[in-house]
Amino acid sequence: MKIKNIVNISRALLMTLSIATLDVVASESKEAPSAVVEKLQSIVPAKSPDSITETQISGLYEARYGTTILYISADGRYLIDGSMLDLQTRANLTEQAIAKVRVDMLSRLDESEMINYIPESVKRTLTIFTDIDCQYCVKLHEERKQLLAAGIKLRYLLYPRAGFNSPSYNKAVTVWCSKDRAEALTDAKAGMVPDAIECENPILSQMSLATDFGLKGTPHIVIDDGETISGYMPAKALIKKLGQ
């Protein structure tokens, strides 16, 4: 791999990592060959990996930084930036590992810092990063009754794509500071935004969390098993997928 590409990987990791990631697992790092640890430190000096474990391939190690995974040989010479596939089972082992991390990160979230729509009987849960001004987010929200009727709980995290202090961000703050956040979010997505109000809110931390989840657009849907759906999926298709 060219030095330029290694530098790009290092920069990309530093851009996507945040305080939401886990601390390095000391026992796993100690078991890793010193060549692996040293090489990773030279590539990403500002951040220790959350874990280093040997993969199903002898001599190849998995280094995890949040939801980013790299593979490195035991001698520290070879670095693989990509997915590992099991051709026998057709499983994407890299995605499976990342999905477990997402499930763990979701389990750490406090639902009091989300906007929730809860069915009478919860069968599955979707955590959705949403932008009030995103038309596909609006479309998905308009189908919420179908999802709720199917026993799917919706947990919204606010992600104004235009960034801090943008009109979308200010709308998100107003929604969060409203007495009934669920009703306010529905109204805002319908174009009815009340007079701006401010209060202490978790929106910046939710924007940071979105980066950890690899958000590329909205809506960004995280299923309770850790799988993600980047973009809109019709309620009917979501219900079918979750029922499989």
Each residue of 187-204: pLDDT tens digit? Answer: 999 999 888 999 999 999
User: Where a domain ends, among 94, 126, 156?
Assistant: 94
Please give the residue range of the domain that contains residue 168: 107-243
Q: Is residue 31 part of a domain?
A: yes
100 falls within a domain? no
53 and 83 housed in the same domain:
yes
Q: What CATH number is associated with residue 137?
A: 3.40.30.10
Asked whether residue 199 falls in the same domain as residue 134, the answer is yes
Does 27 share its domain with 126? no
Residues 226 and 124 both lie in one domain: yes
User: For residue 214, what pLDDT is reported?
Assistant: 82
Residues 111 and 224 in one domain: yes
> Are both 124 and 163 inside the same structural domain?
yes
pLDDT for res 3: 44
Q: What is the model's pLDDT at position 6? A: 52
pLDDT in tens, 44-80: 998 999 999 999 999 999 999 989 999 999 999 999 9
Q: What is the CATH number of the domain that holds 90?
A: 3.10.450.70
Residues 6+ apart with CB under 8 A from 221: 126, 127, 128, 228, 229, 230, 233, 238
10 Å CB burial of residue 213 (0-12, 13-18, 19+) is buried
Q: Which residue in this structure is represented by tokens 């990342």? A: 98
pLDDT at 216 (0 to 100): 81
Same structural domain, 8 and 44: yes
Q: Give, to the nearest 10 degrees, the angle between helix 34-43 and helix 3-16.
A: 80
Q: What is the pLDDT of residues 203-226, one digit of tens each?
A: 999 999 998 888 888 999 999 999
The residue among 2 and 145 whose pLDDT is bigger is 145
Token pair of 40 as six digits: 């990773």
Q: Do 41 and 121 fall within a single domain?
A: no
Rounded distance between C-alpha atoms, residue 117 and residue 155, angstroms: 7
244: pLDDT confidence band, cut at 50, 70 and 90?
confident
- In this structure, are 64 and 124 located in the same domain? no
- The answer to whether residue 26 scores a pLDDT higher than 50 is no
Q: What is the mean pLDDT of residues 101-120?
A: 94
User: Residue 102 domain-assigned?
Assistant: no
The string of DSSP codes covering the chain is --HHHHHHHHHHHHHH--TTSPPP-HHHHHHS-HHHHHHHHHHSTT---SEEEE-SSTTEEEEEETTEEEEEETTS--EE-S--EETTTTEEHHHHHHHHHHHHHHHT--GGGSEEE--SS--EEEEEEE-TT-HHHHHHHHTHHHHHHTTEEEEEEE--TT-TTSHHHHHHHHHHTSSSHHHHHHHHHTT---S-------HHHHHHHHHHTT--SSSEEEETTS-EEES---HHHHHHHHH-
Residues 85, 186 within the same domain: no
Inform me whether the pLDDT recorded for 28 exceeds 60.
Answer: no
pLDDT of residue 8: 55
Which residue among 94, 116, 148 closes a domain?
A: 94
> Does 198 reside within a domain?
yes
Query: What is the average pLDDT value for the chain, to the nearest integer?
Result: 89
**27 or 237, which is more confident?**
237
Whether 114 and 215 map to the same domain: the answer is yes
More confident residue, 4 or 121: 121
